[in-house]
Structure 1
């Protein structure tokens, strides 16, 4: 079984795009990003800082700061969401 990369610099363009998409979604937690790509919250923040315009990054940080849904343990969701077959497990 392949393990997800932990180095954000080793990720391809498609993976980076998906991580950014998941980071913007309210329903995707940082834990889900870590499970799929091996990046913890601070690595996602660093990736977003590098990949986004400064104003977009500030808007994203303001949006997710303190958001319960971005942390699986705090969100209160009991059942995991369905994942499409083509996504990493």
Structure 2
């Protein structure tokens, strides 16, 4: 992979990469939230995950993410924009 084919990925710190991987691994964090915070769209996150995870872990993550509505804010609806425990006050 060359620098020209992946603009912006090379400028991430180890902490940012770690946080993106953590957010992507979580079921409730949408790709849109990652893009809003780090400027990386879904395909860039998938590429980052592919390069920073073991192949078996990446395959397991992709299988789990396939078709999951919680990873796309548009499919979740406005009710789920932010996680809040059911016992807390609105």
- TM bracket, shorter-chain basis: 0.7 to 0.9
Bigger mean CA offset, 8-17 vs 73-82: 73-82
Give the drift of 1:27. 1.0
Give the drift of 1:8. 1.6
Unpaired stretches in structure 1, ≥5 consecutive residues: 1-5, 83-89
Counterpart position of 2:47: 46
Determine which structure has more spread, i.e. the larger CA radius of gyration.
2
Give the drift of 1:81. 2.0
Q: TM-score, normalised by structure 1?
A: 0.80
Counterpart position of 2:57: 56
Cα distance in 2 between the residues matched to 1:79 and 1:64: 17
Q: Report SS of the residue matched to 1:78.
A: helix
Number of residues paired by the alignment?
77
Give the drift of 1:77. 3.5
Unpaired stretches in structure 2, ≥5 consecutive residues: 1-6, 84-90
Q: Which structure has the higher relative contact order (CA within 8 Å, separation 6+)?
A: 1
Counterpart position of 2:25: 24
Q: Deviations over 1:22-64 (max 9, x none)?
A: 0011110000000000000000000000000000000000010
**Superposition RMSD in Å:** 1.5
Q: Report SS of the residue matched to 2:79.
A: coil
Q: TM-score, normalised by structure 2?
A: 0.79
